[in-house]
Amino acid sequence: MRTPIVAGNWKMNKTVAEAGPLVREMIPLLSQVNGAEVVLCPPFTALATVAELIRSTPVHLGAQDMHWEKSGAFTGAISPLMIRELCEYVIIGHSERRQYFADTDESVQRKVAAAYEHGLRPIVCVGENLQQNEAGETAEWVAGQVRAALTGLAAEQVQTLVIAYEPIWAIGTGKPATGAGANSVAGLVIRGTVASMFGEATAQAIRIQYGGSVTPDNIGEFMIQPEIDGALVGGASLIASKFVALTEIAAKAKQAKG
C-alpha cells in the first residue's frame, strides 16, 4: 500500500518570526500521527528555521520552487544545490508558478530533471483551468502535462515521484472537485499516462495527491478514493489545528481503505 503523503504549501505566507511558533505548535501533534508522511513547504526565507525545528522528527521539509541551474547569473533564483542543503522535497510546476511566473512544460521538465540530478524528490503539480474543465479537455491537458514533466526520466526515478492533481478552478476558491472526479483523473489520466510511458508497476508506485481547497471537512472524501494518496494543502496548512486534523484524517482513511 502506498504511504499517504500530506504536504503543506505555505505559499507567500509566514515570516521567519511567524514560522517558528506555527511549527512548534504543529510538531508535538504531527509526531503522534502514524501512517502518513508529512512535508512542510514554507517560503525560502523560513526554510532554515523550519529545518532546525523539525530536526529529529518524522516531518520532512520541501521548497516551493527552484531553478534548474546549479549556479550562475540568475538574480533572485534558488538553485537545487541550495535547496538540497535543507530540503528533501521540492514543489515543481504549481499552477501559480505557471500563471504568474511563466513556468512552462519545458521549464517544469528541466526542473524535475535537475531535482533528481541533485537528490531532491519533486512534487509535480498538474491541473486544468475552469474553461478547459467545462470544455471536456481535462484528460488531454493533464496527460500532456504529465508526459512533458516526466520526459527523459528513468522508471526508477518516476517511482519515487509525487504528482499533485490540482484543478486550478478549485485552488483557493472553496469549491473543491468531487472525490470521484479527482479519483478518475488520478487513476485514468495520471496513472494511465505514467503506465503508457513507464509500465504499470511504475504507475502503481507513484503517489498522487489532490490539491484545491482541501480542509479537514472534505479531506476524507478524497482519501477514501483508491487512486488518491494524499493532499497538497494550501490555506489549511497555515493553521496548526487544521493541518494536524486533516493529516490525521488522511492517515486513518488510508488505513481503513487499505
What one-letter code names the amino acid at 68?
W
Radius of gyration (C-alpha) of the chain in whole angstroms: 17
State how far the Cα of 236 lies from the Cα of 241, in Å rounded to an integer: 9
67 is catalytic: no
State how far the Cα of 155 lies from the Cα of 131, in Å rounded to an integer: 33
Cell 534548474 identifies what position?
68
Catalytic residue among 37, 96, 128, 166: 166
Residue 238, C-alpha cell as written in the block: 497555515
Query: Residue 247 gets which letter from DSSP?
Result: H
State how far the Cα of 209 lies from the Cα of 224, in Å rounded to an integer: 12
Catalytic residue among 94, 128, 227, 248: 94
List CB contacts of 91: < 8 A, sequence separation 6 or more.
7, 9, 41, 62, 63, 64, 65, 122, 123, 125, 164, 232
Backbone angles phi, psi at 112, to 5 degrees: -60, -45
Total number of residues shown for the chain: 258
94 is catalytic: yes
Which residues are the active-site residues? 94, 166
